[in-house]
Amino acid sequence: MADYSDEPKLLGVDLVDCLTEASRDLTDLYRTAPDPVEHYRRFLGWVKQALAAHRAREPGHFHWF
């Protein structure tokens, strides 16, 4: 997360790219699409909580949630 400290929104953008690539790879590998809810949880579900926890440790640092 330190790589995204100046632009935390980019973390979400990069994780969406990872989610898209992983979904495509898993669909090619198993010939069936992965569960979209589970994929969201794994790739994006934790981001809001993690950034909020980081913000609590460093007041005023993140402002997008």
With cut-offs at 50, 70 and 90, classify the pLDDT of residue 60.
low
pLDDT at residue 1, as a whole number: 59
pLDDT at residue 6, as a whole number: 73
- Residue 31 Ramachandran class (φ > 0 left, ψ -120 to 50 alpha, else beta): left
Helix, strand or coil, per DSSP, at residue 13: helix
Better-predicted residue by pLDDT, 59 or 53: 53
- Reported as a single tens digit per residue, the pLDDT across 10-54 is 888 898 899 999 989 998 998 888 888 988 888 888 887 777 776
